Amino acid sequence: MASGEGSNFEALVNACRADHLPADVVQLVVNRPQCGAVERAERLGIPTALFDHRAVSSREELDRRIVAHLDGEQLDFVVMAGWMRIVTDVLLAAYPQRLINIHPSLLPSFRGAKAIEQALEAGVCISGCTAHLVALEVDSGPILVQAAVPVLESDTAETLAERIHAQEHRILPLAVQRAAQRLGLLPALP
Ligand code: GRF
């Protein structure tokens, strides 16, 4: 599921295709018709489904439609790869322990949509990204993988985002692997 550029979505597809992750990305769900993720999915040959949040009356209704749509697919995981909507219990209940989010901070610090700006404002020397299982509270839930990056004095939100994104692309496939190991779908690490 993606709302924006879709670089994490593409990283996940590439990890599967390179056999770094024994999985297939079967579908992209977006909530914006013209987001970059859609273009990437077209280039990668992955079907896309659009659920425009502006066309529904509530967050629950959006999630209900998505769950109904995905019901026919035999999915092990749903990955929020830059899904900029607050999800509800409807989605959580449909994919318990199987809903993964990626967030551009070292959680539990800097939750929410402006995590990179908040990290800069706070003056932290280290930031990073977190892939986690989703709980009801925004940007919370059991942590699967984190990566740290330095924050440089010269950093702007753009330069820090670039450094964090590179790590997100690395840890998101690892997080899916770890989530699969937790459920016994893949062998656990020794
Ligand atoms: C990422 O920074 C992710 O952590 C956040 O949204 C951004 C999505 O980037 N939730 P992209 O669309 O994958 O390029």
Largest CA distance in the chain: 49
Both structure tokens of 170: 């690395």
Ligand 1: residues with CB < 6 A are: 2, 4-9, 81-82, 102-104, 129, 165, 168
- Would 72 be classed as within a structural domain? yes
- Tens of pLDDT, residues 81-107: 999 999 999 999 999 999 999 999 999
103 is catalytic: yes
Query: Do the beta carbons of residue 124 and residue 155 sit within 8 Å?
Result: no
- Would 67 be classed as within a structural domain? yes
Q: Which residues pair with 133 in a beta bridge?
A: 100
Count of all residues that appear for the chain in the document: 190
Residue 2 DSSP symbol = B
Q: Which of 142, 140, 134, 144 is nearest to 178 (CA)?
A: 144
- Tens of pLDDT, residues 36-58: 999 999 999 999 999 999 999 99
Q: Give the Å distance between the CA of 162 and the centre of ligand 1.
A: 11
Q: How confident is the model at residue 188 (pLDDT cuts 50, 70, 90)?
A: confident
- Would 17 be classed as within a structural domain? yes
- Would 22 be classed as within a structural domain? yes
What is the extent of the structural domain holding 148? 7-182
- Would 2 be classed as within a structural domain? no
User: Whole-angstrom Cα distance, residue 36 to residue 46?
Assistant: 14
- Would 188 be classed as within a structural domain? no
Query: Is the CA virtual torsion 15, 30, 143, 162 positive or negative?
Result: positive
Query: Is residue 1 predicted with pLDDT exceeding 80?
Result: yes
Pocket test residue of 12, 87, 102 for ligand 1, highest count of atoms within 8 A of CB: 102
Torsion angle of the four alpha carbons 164, 170, 171, 177, in this order, in degrees rounded to the nearest 10: 170
- Would 190 be classed as within a structural domain? no
Both structure tokens of 159: 């330069």
- Would 77 be classed as within a structural domain? yes
Q: What is the CATH number of the domain that holds 121?
A: 3.40.50.170
Strands 143-150 and 126-133: antiparallel
Domain count within the chain: 1
Nearest ligand 1 atom to the CA of 116 is 2
The angle at the Cα of 187, spanning 186 to 190, to the nearest 5 degrees, equals 145
* Mean pLDDT, range 155-177, rounded to an integer: 98
Q: Give the Å distance between the CA of 167 and the centre of ligand 1.
A: 11
19: CB partners within 8 A, 6+ apart? none
